[in-house]
Amino acid sequence: MKDGKLRILAVLKTFTGRDGEPQEHNELYILKSMWLMMLSEFEASIKAKVERYIDRIKSNNISDIHVCLLVRNFFGNSSEDLTLNKIVSYYKKNPSDITYSNFTRDRIPKYKTDSVVKLFSHLGIFFSEAEHANLLILNSIASTRDSIAHGDIGVQITRKELENHLDELEHLLSMLENKLK
């Protein structure tokens, strides 16, 4: 996200209005585009961090993997009683069956609170009430993003709002990265 944030801030510096706000019609259009890019960068960062986490888990002793991660992708015989030993044994024989497809490459956006919570819970990582409260800012940012993306011409945003949300998203990414350690 850091590189993306720097790219977005560089674009914002080109605005010609008072206090660096957009002045011309094309600058307003660019500002709205940067809002979408802000969440794209955030989502890409989450996906990259989660995929590195999955790779790290897979390279460790497979029995250390959280059972939620294993059960999420388990394709055993449902008539059998699933036990932790059976599941771990399956993945010891087939570690390549733990893939990104059910986590980060399922075409479900990862920039809304519920989708981030769901992604992490599928990894066996859960949030405290305070962490969940911090994640709620995503819904407001995503709502504005969705309105812009779907052509709502009445959306009013400022450069300052975008910059503030960039900082908030960077803070959230730091929190999420700490959860993956």
Question: Which pLDDT tens digit goes with each residue over 143-168?
Answer: 999 999 999 989 999 999 999 999 99
78 vs 175, which has greater pLDDT? 175
Q: How far apart are CA 152 and CA 92, in angstroms?
A: 51
What are the φ/ψ torsions at residue 166 (nearest 5 degrees)? -60, -45
pLDDT of residue 176: 98
Structural domains counted in the chain: 1
pLDDT of residue 143: 97
Residue type (1 letter), 25 = H
pLDDT of residue 63: 62
Q: Which residue range forms the structural domain that includes residue 36?
A: 2-179
pLDDT of residue 76: 47
Region of poorest pLDDT, from 61-65, 108-112, 140-144: 61-65
- Percentage of the chain modeled with pLDDT above 90: 64
Q: How far apart are CA 160 and CA 12, in angstroms?
A: 10
Stretch 97-112: mean pLDDT: 84
pLDDT of residue 60: 74
pLDDT of residue 111: 95
CA–CA distance from 63 to each of 6, 50, 58, 101, 121 (Å)?
40, 19, 10, 21, 19
Does residue 96 carry a pLDDT above 80? no
Q: 29-74, pLDDT tens digit by residue?
A: 999 999 999 999 999 999 999 999 988 887 776 666 666 666 655 5
pLDDT of residue 82: 67
Average pLDDT for the chain = 88
CA–CA distance from 164 to each of 2, 120, 143 (Å)?
14, 25, 16
Does residue 11 carry a pLDDT above 60? yes
